[in-house]
């Protein structure tokens, strides 16, 4: 956040100064609690006037096939019908030339995407980047020559604190642009498929707010509103925003021509420290990430980390748990260095980790298999750290061939093969690559014995040829 706040907060500080002798001092001069009823009546209007023009409405339409009642298929009338499905959400203009950030789930599968500006003009948009792991999508609208749009500055300084005032701006329920206020109620809320550390806020977020802006009192973008926890489907004061650090990385990648955000990897399996582990390790509190295993030749191994090390800090920031450590590394740019503070036995050591993209070794070699064998209709790919990261798999799964897609007409679906299965062996022949699998199924067999890894369990089954 910038050092200079808008008039609203400046007034708060001025009012607080009159009673300085009675008020406690604050750690930062630009943060002060309201000191009177007058201060409580101050307006957020200056912040809204600055931020709201850069928040847009987004609609995405796609054609879906809807199956009619199976009863009519008995008479040859069960032909699927096409219908247009639409999703609505919000977005934020982050570059004056028409670059917009929103949630991936707002535009996923969209064949026609329309961005509605705050001045009610509408423009078609195309997707520059769609990243399901972070649930971010970067759009581009083509503007008339010479036109520049209002933007929200991305504030990824990381100095947001629990208790800071924030505004959530978006288009819930498609009623028009709406502003709600609240505070940051928690930081670094880890979890979810993307492995992010979300900003939690009690500012009301409802359906349609997805992709909208979470702004600070400078009117800067500190997060993109993504989802809520609610039993009713409406806001219950527990909303989550994707941090600006992640947003900036996605925008930089998209503008630079990238199609996917590159996430550096640690190259280690880590475990969060609980109370019992903390006592056994001599720690005064449960904190940090225990290095349980190292990937040979990975960044952690080359940095000098060892099995049993506990990473307590990364780049000067406390490591709360294993998820927080992975997040801190994944949000760095490849090539950057990250100093780590490590507890090793009864002493503290310092190591430096270099942020690197997970290697695509072996090469993907993605193929769709066909023929008289159990894998007919399955698309498979070599398993590598890069593929494991892309699909959110454990890098320590080991060798094998990953099933990424199943064709509805092939034998693979008939026998129950699933997306995410890892093929380990065929008729006693160890499978370590797509080439191995292609060779193993080349000749017809009277029976096929197949070993796969599914959800951490290895299963072997036999099928007739």
Q: Where are the domains of the chain?
A: 7-42, 46-261, 268-354, 367-464
C-alpha to C-alpha distance for 428 and 284, rounded to whole angstroms = 51
Q: Is the pLDDT of residue 391 over 90?
A: no
- Please, are residues 197 and 230 in contact by the beta-carbon 8 Å criterion? no
pLDDT at 194: 53
pLDDT band at 41 (very low <50, low <70, confident <90, very high): low
- Please, are residues 155 and 191 in contact by the beta-carbon 8 Å criterion? no
Question: Among the listed ranges 11-20, 355-364, 396-405, which one has the minimum average pLDDT value?
Answer: 11-20
Options 3.40.640.10, 2.30.42.10, 2.102.10.10, 3.90.1170.40; CATH for 268-354 is: 2.30.42.10
C-alpha torsion 37→41→46→52, nearest 10: 130
Which is higher by pLDDT, 402 or 175? Answer: 402
Question: Among the listed ranges 29-43, 312-326, 336-350, 440-454, which one has the minimum average pLDDT value?
Answer: 29-43
Structural tokens at position 109:
């599968």
For 48-100, the pLDDT digits (tens) are 999 999 999 998 876 555 555 555 555 555 555 555 556 688 999 999 999 99
pLDDT at 265: 92
Q: Is the pLDDT of residue 331 over 60?
A: yes
Q: Is the pLDDT of residue 258 over 90?
A: no
| Separation in Å, CA 270 to CA 19, 101, 165, 196, 308 | 50, 32, 34, 16, 10
Question: Among the listed ranges 29-33, 40-44, 146-150, which one has the minimum average pLDDT value?
Answer: 29-33
C-alpha to C-alpha distance for 275 and 142, rounded to whole angstroms = 55
3-state per-residue secondary structure call for 126-165: EEEEEECCCCEEEEEECCCCCCCCCCCCECCCCCCCCCCE
**Fold topology of 367-464:** Pdz3 Domain (2.30.42)
C-alpha to C-alpha distance for 77 and 150, rounded to whole angstroms = 53
pLDDT band at 212 (very low <50, low <70, confident <90, very high): very high
What sign for the dihedral angle of Cα 213, 218, 222, 227?
negative
* Averaged pLDDT for residues 113-126: 92
CA-closest candidate to residue 143, choices 256, 244, 56: 56
**Fold topology of 46-261:** Thrombin, subunit H (2.40.10)
pLDDT band at 206 (very low <50, low <70, confident <90, very high): confident
pLDDT at 165: 93
pTM: 0.76
Q: Which residues are registered as beta bridge partners of 350?
A: 341
For 155-199, the pLDDT digits (tens) are 988 888 999 999 999 988 777 788 999 999 988 887 544 567 899
367-464 matches 46-261 in CATH topology: no
3-state per-residue secondary structure call for 61-101: EEEEEECCCHHHHCCCCCCCEEEEEEEEEEEEEEECCCEEE
CA-closest candidate to residue 264, choices 202, 329, 173, 214: 329
Q: CA end-to-end span of the chain, whole Å? A: 65
pLDDT at 390: 81
pLDDT at 346: 87
Catalytic residue numbers?
105, 135, 210
- Number of helices (H) and strands (E), helices first, in the chain? 12, 25
Structural tokens at position 357:
């993209």
């Amino acid at each position: 956040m910038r050092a200079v706040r808008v008039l609203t907060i400046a007034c708060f500080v001025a009012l607080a100064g009159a009673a300085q002798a009675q008020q406690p001092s604050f750690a930062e001069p630009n943060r002060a609690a309201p000191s009177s009823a007058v201060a409580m009546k101050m307006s957020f209007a200056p912040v809204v006037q600055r931020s709201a023009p850069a928040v847009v409405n987004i609609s995405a339409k796609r054609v879906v096939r809807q199956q009619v009642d199976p009863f009519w298929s008995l008479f040859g009338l069960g032909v699927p019908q096409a219908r247009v499905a639409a999703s609505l959400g919000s977005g934020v203009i982050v570059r004056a030339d028409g670059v917009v950030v929103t949630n991936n789930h707002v535009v996923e599968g969209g064949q026609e995407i329309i961005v509605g500006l705050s001045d009610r003009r509408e423009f078609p948009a195309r997707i520059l980047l769609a990243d399901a792991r972070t649930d971010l999508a970067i759009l581009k609208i083509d503007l008339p020559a010479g036109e520049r749009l209002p933007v929200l500055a991305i504030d990824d300084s990381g100095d947001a604190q629990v208790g800071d005032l924030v505004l959530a701006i978006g288009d819930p329920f498609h009623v028009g642009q709406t502003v709600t206020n609240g505070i940051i109620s928690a930081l670094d809320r880890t979890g979810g498929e993307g492995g992010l550390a979300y900003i939690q806020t009690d500012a009301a977020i409802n359906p349609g707010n997805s992709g909208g802006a979470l702004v600070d009192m400078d009117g800067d973008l500190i997060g993109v509103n993504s989802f809520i926890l609610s039993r009713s489907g409406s806001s219950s004061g527990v909303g989550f925003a994707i941090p600006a650090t992640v947003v900036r990385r996605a925008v930089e990648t998209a503008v630079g021509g990238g199609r996917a955000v590159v996430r550096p990897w640690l190259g280690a399996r880590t475990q969060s420290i609980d109370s019992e582990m903390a006592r056994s390790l001599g720690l005064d509190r449960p904190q940090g990430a225990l290095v349980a295993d190292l990937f040979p030749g990975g960044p952690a191994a080359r940095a000098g980390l060892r099995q049993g090390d506990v990473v307590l800090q990364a780049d000067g920031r406390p490591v709360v748990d294993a998820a927080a450590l992975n997040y801190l590394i994944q949000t760095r740019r490849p090539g950057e260095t990250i100093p780590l503070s490590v507890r090793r036995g009864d002493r503290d050591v310092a190591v430096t980790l270099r942020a690197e993209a997970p290697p695509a070794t072996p090469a993907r070699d993605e193929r769709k298999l066909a023929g008289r064998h159990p894998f007919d209709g399955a698309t498979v790919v070599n398993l590598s750290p890069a593929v494991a990261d892309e699909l959110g798999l454990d890098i320590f799964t080991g060798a094998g061939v990953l099933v990424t897609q199943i064709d509805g007409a092939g034998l693979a679906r008939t026998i129950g093969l699933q997306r995410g299965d890892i093929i380990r062996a065929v008729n006693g022949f160890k499978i370590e690559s797509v080439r191995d699998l292609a060779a193993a199924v080349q000749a017809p067999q009277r029976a096929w014995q197949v070993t796969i890894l599914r959800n951490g369990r290895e299963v072997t089954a036999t099928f007739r040829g």
